[in-house]
Amino acid sequence: MTFANGTRLPRILPGPMEGVTAGAWLKILTRRQWVNAWWTPFLRISIGVPRRSRLAAWLAPYLATGLPVIAQIMGEDAARLAETARRLRELGAVAIDLNCACPSPVVVRNHSGGERLRHPEWIATTLRAMKQAMGEAPVGVKLRVGYESPDEFATCIAPAVREARPDFVTVHFRTVRERYEPIADGLDRLSRARHALSGLTVIGSGDLFTPQDAIAMHERCGVDAVAPARGMLANPRLLVDVAQALRGEMPTPFTLQEKASLLGEFVVHSPRHFQLQIAANLYGKNSPEFNAFLKK
């Protein structure tokens, strides 16, 4: 994807994951060249605009990878968000993304993340303020298809977003109320959302666990890019596999030996709880390999 100011971002992006997209995850996946850009989890802006030094420290591990970084922010105060966006841009983020999607009860109670979908006019105002603060640099917004119901998208959310003309819009096909529940018609919803955002760059999100899922999303929804998230935990090489599949190539199998070697790196570079999370996802919680790892 190439934006008005010449910024380029890959069409297969690692969806941000709070608690995962940090530390060893960044270092190991970057070293293995399994991602071509990083997207930070949200930084919540509440009582004031963070000082430059704090923002610099927060951004540092992402910038240290040498890859383009999309910085994500969330909050309720448009002016503070716009000023934070400007500072993050100056500090080296290539694009800034406004999170209006997070369904966490704490975030929603604080009128942030997915709660913002109840105020589409606020989303438009905030995106305009961010664009003004950031000059030509790309501004994005992360959405779910509604707060209570997917019907909100075409009637309320998309018209406001279209009017603000962000450079990219990420759509996760669940509503905030649905959190991570299984849903049957995700691709239909995303397809309708893509249609309602015609003329804008749309990144698809939701249940991208395999390369086939990404192909289906591309074919059925006509999105410009995809951002798998949880699927990367079971297969941290998923973005490479998706790229191969989209080129029509067979994915290379991820062998037990390769999994063990990858886990070995996490053992050296991350705390035990994160090692266990990685091992459970790589092998499956009921696998002999995970049980053996538990006993180590």
Report CA-CA distances (Å) from 279 to 47, 84, 263, 266, 273: 38, 36, 7, 9, 10
Contact with ligand FMN (CB under 6 A): which of 9, 15, 67, 193?
A: 15
Of 256-285, binders to ligand FMN (CB under 6 A) are none
CB of 100 to ligand FMN, least distance (A): 9
226, β-bridge pairs: 12, 204
Report CA-CA distances (Å) from 23 to 3, 61, 238: 29, 7, 19
d(CA 270, CA 272): 7
Nearer to ligand FMN, 131 or 170 (CB): 170
- Show the binding pattern over residues 56-95: x = contacts ligand FMN (CB under 6 A), - = does not: ----------------x-----------------------
Dihedral sign, Cα of residue 124, residue 126, residue 132, residue 134: negative
Residue with tokens 């509503």: 175
**Considering the rule CB under 6 A, would residue 16 count as an interface residue with ligand FMN?**
yes
- Show the binding pattern over residues 187-216: x = contacts ligand FMN (CB under 6 A), - = does not: ------------------xxxx--------
Closest of 191, 181, 234 to residue 209, by C-alpha = 234
Nearer to ligand FMN, 114 or 120 (CB): 114
**Considering the rule CB under 6 A, would residue 231 count as an interface residue with ligand FMN?**
yes
**Considering the rule CB under 6 A, would residue 107 count as an interface residue with ligand FMN?**
no
CB of 114 to ligand FMN, least distance (A): 10
End-to-end, the C-alpha distance of the chain in Å comes to: 44
d(CA 216, CA 153): 22
**Considering the rule CB under 6 A, would residue 175 count as an interface residue with ligand FMN?**
no
**Considering the rule CB under 6 A, would residue 112 count as an interface residue with ligand FMN?**
no
d(CA 232, CA 282): 9
**Considering the rule CB under 6 A, would residue 99 count as an interface residue with ligand FMN?**
yes
d(CA 137, CA 53): 21
CB of 3 to ligand FMN, least distance (A): 19
**Considering the rule CB under 6 A, would residue 171 count as an interface residue with ligand FMN?**
no
Contact with ligand FMN (CB under 6 A): which of 89, 116, 172, 218?
A: 172
Interacting residues toward ligand FMN by CB under 6 A: 15-20, 41-42, 72, 99, 101, 142, 172, 205-208, 228-231
